[in-house]
Structure 1
Amino acid sequence: MSQSRAFLRAQQRRRDAEQRREVRLRRAALGALVVAGAAAPSASAATFPVSNLADAGAGSLRQAILDANAAPGADEVTFAAGLTGQISLASQIPVADALTITGPSAGGIVLDGGGTTRLLDATAALTVSDLTLRNGDAGGGSGGAIAVSGSPLRLTDVTVTGSTASRGGGVYVSGNSVEISGTTMTGNTATYSGGALTTDGNSSVVASDRLTISDSVFSGNTSAANGGGVALYDNYVDTLVQRTTIDGNTVTGNGSSFEDGGGIWIEDTYNGRSTTVRDSTITGNTTPDAGGGIAFGENFYGPTEVVGSTITGNTAAVGGGVSMADDEPLAGLTAFAVRNSTITGNTATQTGGGLSIGYASGSSDGDTAVVGTVLAGNTASGGAPDLFRRPGHTGTITVGNSLLQDPTGATFTEAPAGTVITGVDPRLGALADNGGPTRTRLPLVGSPLRDAGVASGLTADQRGRTRTVDIPGVADAAGSDGTDIGAAELQVNAIPTIAGPASAAVDEDTPVTIAGLSVTDPDDTGAAGTATFAVDRGTVSLALAGATGNGTGTVTVSATRAALNAALAGGALTYAPAPDSTAGATLTVTYDDGVTDETGTRGTAVPRTVTLDVRAINDAPTLAVPGAQRTVAGGSFAFGTLGGNAIRVADVDATTVSVTLVTGGGTLRLPTADGLAFQEGAPSGATRLRFTGAVAAVNAALDGLAYTAPAGRSAPDRVDVTVDDQGGTGAGGVLSAAAAVPVTIAPTVTPAGSPVLCGEPVVLRPVLTGTRVQFTGVTLPAYAGRQVEVRSGSTVVARTTVAADGTFSRTIKAPPKRRQASVTYKAVVANTGSPTYRLVRRVTMTQEGTRLTGRLRLSRQIRRGTTGILYVDTSCGGRKRAAKITLARDGRFTATVSRPSQGFAVYRVRIRVSRTLVTWTAPLIVLPGSAR
């Protein structure tokens, strides 16, 4: 070391000796105070309560401490439950015997020196927790709030603020171990060193002594000389600063060369003891000399490290981030190491914006290693912005598995070779709360820091998160073990997985529970994820709160993984196949845990597919039959589509069906037997028919099925219809359907001297076959041999003769397709002397009991409000007035009429349209309760 530097060091040691003399004098004075004010000694250690906020007297903190001083052994001072507020001290309180001062766990007790006195002065072991110490003033001495000489100090969850001293504006400890945790020291001032805290060791320590600062904050403190926030000097113990923030502290300068360490200054470590700054953030600190963030002075005779820490935004003349002046050579060891740290955005007004190694003059021979560290974005007006070796440093500087953005002016050895990234932006996010006790800068997406470093034996990053995390899809850089360079290791969201069966059996038309599905997520946070269940055929439902889309092809739900798995295990997921379909389906399950990890990757599971195999199940046939039918004894009618009374069968999965038709006496005739095989009866006429055939052939035969009532019968009959599918095409056996069609038979009544119908038209049951229309008329036994006309409207389309049994039939050419749905055919039996009626318009009437309703199609002349007369035939050619009617808006009318004395009645409507024109509607046979 140069002569000028030696002179300065000697000057500092003289100052240190003066400070130690002050400690000895203070210890002697404290002993006298204790003797003068102590109570009688107690037989054993005790707890002394504080019951008020007074400065002195019974129940005061001062009295409790004096009583504890006088009692042998380690004692404790506590505060009465519910006691909160400020204790204003007029003078310092001496602590002469081992003492623990325990404040309320909720806080609320403040010791205030009013800016005129130190608060606590200890010459024995002192432990303080859950208190606020403020506005202490050592009056030119050390330790504005607390001074401890030759004894250990432990602070837990303590706040020290607004205090002033020469050294250790807030706290000063000499000659023993220090443990500080969960403590905040802010706004304190030292006129010399250690704005918040100064420790000053001596050679009388034992191996168990240590200096530890954990989970604490040193912010906004000021000193004139070394250590704007913290000054740790003459350390004969292992020194550890961990999970601590040192932020916004300042060395203002005093005109000497001892103006180092804007945030923290550490110097002189002996006996091979280690010095470590770990998992901490040093930011926004300033000094006019060396080490804006951290200044390591000289005489480090043990390993010294900065590990897993973020040092950013600090300012100094040299070593804006970190300065290591004198790391002594260690046999077989690296004297100074910076491992897995982030040193960025620091400023040097001279050289070494990020990291400076060595004295300005003199020699410092220890070796330095920079491993897995970011040195980037630092600036230095005099050059070497990121890394600087000062003149006189003779040790080696190795850099490996690191990013050195600007190597200008840097002298180092790359080891291992090819592992240092240079000239590249590290792509770091801003300093922020990224989890953990201290703020960090995370690599951004695409950062070259990813998977380019080495873990160096670390298992956690600065935040306490897992290290190493090898990022999928990012190739490890040369020499890397997959660790990220820097203090923060990007965490990868473990991708959830979906477990479940490869397939599931489903019965046709039968909903089934899909069992065996579950979601696993190794780093489940308990937050809601999103699951979807989609099928390409059929529908799916999930009985879980928040599920949407139930009964459709896709269900979506947002729920915690635990809730989702519980629902799935409980049978909440059901699948319903498409109706009457045996086509299989695929269920696709997706899950997103809702987390986008620090690499920008979303936690989306690989979709799980389940093949749904649908087993064919025999579907029962269906049967459609009309309502009750009516005819007269010996009369006939046909079941058919054009008549609106068809019998039809259907079966979605049967190729052949069997049909059984049975009556109670009436005769059944089929218009066709094509494609049918008969087991009972003949298609030409029988009371019981049983046949098989394809569904289409069966329906063709039933369309036109004729029923003939027994002659002379008036008792009701019925047609029983049964269809079975002969086992269909699936499992389940033979299924069938059955129905009955009641048939009302009115007796044939022939009025004396008059034919039954007297020229009235009879509605036929035409059957359309291809391009022909086949008629099967009602039976007219009273008109055997008489001629009958088949009319469409007023046009006679065919003439035929009534057979001896009263039947008649005729085949004509079918009308065009566009008219087939609206054509009505009528048969009129000629009757000499019967009146002739002009067919103008059709009327529909229905009689139920004595109430008759009808509807007439309106026109310009026949409209709402038109009145008319309802007549009923009395005999052939005769009629009588039955009721007056008025047409409603839709052409409807109602009338109350007498119950027919015979089995049927014929009604007519007459409308007077003008003075000269009287129009009659086409007369219709209206049986009681029937509709035509």
Structure 2
Amino acid sequence: MPTRNLREFAYRRLLLLLLAALCAGQVQAQVNDDWSNATVIATLPFSDAQTTSAATTEPTDPESICFIGAAGSQGRGSVWYRYTTGSSDEFLSISTAGSSYDTVINVYRGSPGSFQPVLGGCNDDGISGVFQARLSGLRLRADTSYSIEIVSHGSSTFGGSLQLAVASAPQYLVTRSDDPNPALAACAPGDCTLRAAIKSANTTPGAVIVPAGTYAISLGSSGEDANNGGDFDIRAGMGIYGAGPGQTIVNAGNLDRAFAVDPSGGSATGRVTAIIADLAIINGGGPSFFGDGGAIRAYDSGGGNLSNDFVALQRVKIGNSRSQLNGGAMALSARGMIHDCEFSANYANSTGGALTLGPSFGGGDTTIDIVGSTIANNQAPSSFSGGGGIKSTARLRLTNSTVFSNTSGYHGGGIYLTGTGNADLRSSTIVANVARSGGSGTSNGGGLRVDGGAMNLANTLVANNTTGSGAGVADDCTAGGGTLSANYSLIRNGTACIFTGTGNLSGSDPLLDIGLADNGGPTRTLALLAGSPAIDAGNPAGCLDRFGQALAFDQRGQGFPRSSGAACDIGAYERSATVVAAPDMPVLASASDSGSSDSDGITNIAQPHLLGTCTDGDTMTLSVDATPITPTAVCAASAFDIVPATPLADGMRAITVTATRNGTTSAASPALDIVIDTGAPAVAINTGPSGIVVDAGATFTFGIGDGLGAECRLDASSFAACSSPASYSGLAPGPHSFDVRAFDLAGNIGTDTRSWTVAAPSAPATPVLDAASDSGRFADDGVTNAASLVFTGSCVDGDLVQLYDGTNALAGASATCSAGYTINVAGLAEGAHAIAASVTRGGLESTLGGALSVLIDRTAPAAPTILGPTGPSASRVDVSGQSEANADISVREGPTTLCTALSDGNGDWACQVQFQSGGSHSLTATATDLAGNEGPASNAVVIDVDLIFASGFDD
């Protein structure tokens, strides 16, 4: 029995044993073993832990496209989950990290019998060093139900401890189209290049959002694998999403390729799922580029992990890219899905003018699906090259696709299949390709060259291909080995290929259009002309995909149904009796395009006017993210204007329009990508004054979220551009307010405000005249004759103290408070002074505190007069006189003070002298005022003292 049959027998026997165990109650049935009882994921984030050892594989389980194993492998022991998106597109991360067994993640739309793999929704072992899977940045469309299948990968171990985590993926919005030197360290809100976004996603995997614009590579050179220069290195699973191939353009500038997936020489993450969608790549590689993959490389020519990676392209156009080795547009040894893409005018000097696919390494199995795509006008001109369009050693599955006018210098002008490769070509068109004379003097297979493996054609048209130079010789297929089969296909000249099968046409002119044209849909196609033998000559059961399900549409997609007649047409193009051309892309009315630009497609108007041209009488239907909306409009005056009845959800919205005429609906127009953004920027004042503050200055820090720039104002002033921190000074006491606002691209305004009150510091206490400066009779009367006065007082440390005389600030009479203040004031004039103090804190000066009255008197009083006694006196004599009022009087005889007195308010004074000796005594008097000024001595008065006379009387 063949090995494969033995494996199938053992596997079926195991299933029977499991079923028997279930019937005997020995094994508990898996709760979510079948799609019909899938566990519903209601909210994110979601986690689930369960043992899946009892999980089985149902006949309706779909094929896992990234599974490492035989063709059509389903994996082992599936469990199912279901998640339905909300009103906006979502980006998910799905991980089985922490599980005890080898897992594969698959994501599908549809149900058993009609499962459709989600682009990029497959990963096998995405985490380095362990055997668990991870998807990051997977885009799910709005209002759509998705099925998540976890299968066991292994020939002997089925299931185990499963740890599943599903969460919203980080999003990195690119805001800059340049590639600065040095490169940005990471993607920051409002400051993010494409390189920085990919660098951040390499660290924390997620979705990179690339708006419309041209993104040129200008930093560094080829051969660098850490994403610091040259090509953009995708080192972890992520999704990269543009605004459409006509709007988002990555220009490699012939400096390097555009993208390298899991680059060799870098710290590869094991098995990466990389998704690139809705953009164009131009000028990859170049004449001097000796690397595989002119625009994209996920290729390991020497073996390794890359054959286990997964690359998904959707609505990507690659042109004018060049490699001196393999794959002018892309070299891919990883598994992959290529949907609705176009590869044109690319060049490879070795193999694969557009695509080099495979080989698989390390026992891997490289399966690549190309659906709804065009490979045209590419060349691999070397004399020993192969595959002007595609060279494959992989398992290639080409469906609803066109391979046109490619050139090889040797084998396979259209497709070259060699090595272990197999090819399954369904409902595809292989036309006008050329294999020129090679190094051996001969060339083979203008359309198809098969040198090994197996090639199967179904509903496929192969015609008008040639070999040799000049006009060439008709040669649609040449086989040097391998197994060939064809069913319901048109092969005009395939005598060098012996196909087995039924329903084929040979020798017939297919009657094709003269060249590729925009016949609707995302890619150019080659139309069948009226009377073509390919019309209605396909399989009577319908044009079937690789799952055996009838194809709903031809290469152009929605609006171009298959089987319009008795049977479907052969080739990628279905000719219908009535063809309604797809309308042009709708336009967002400038009045509905809010924000700083009325043409950038970013608006906060959720019900915008959407305009377009049309044919009068057609019914125009808008679709948002592929979901039709109301109302419709009947075209009049070659135009329509539709306002959605329901507000569009925030986020990037793909707007298409179809035209319906006489019951036939066109294909959808090219998508208008607009961004609905009704959320204001998250403007927030983080720090700054509030309440009551004693500070004439104010500094505010703030953030503006996704705002384009800040505007600030103080109080009632006008808004002006500003940045954080914003500082102000010289604020007057009283209430104040600070406002900051920011606008985003949609014109939304985010604001924040802060109010506070500026208060001056309290007035200080009355200054004190230092006792040492208060001369005269009293040390605290404020009357002094000092030339320099010292004032002290209490205050708050750090305050600036200023002394005033009345309302005039005294020059040089200030000090910074430190445990009080001491200020020396010189130069005050004689007279009365009112000394007060103020304090300044935070730029604000207080009012004056209490005033200290100071009288400065530096003028000595006049000499007093001695009025008595007169004549002879006894030993005790009363001396009297007059002087300045309130003066201190000293009566002296020579230097000796005999008595003192205080003159009254009239200047009268008197004191008693006790003489100790008789005779004549000469007395003088001096006056000292309150300030301590002593005047001159009075005129001398002579008094005769008779002690005997005095003693006699005394007796």
Settle same-fold status: TM greater than 0.5. Answer: no
TM-score, L = length of structure 2: 0.37
Larger radius of gyration: 1
* TM-score (structure 1 length as normaliser): 0.37
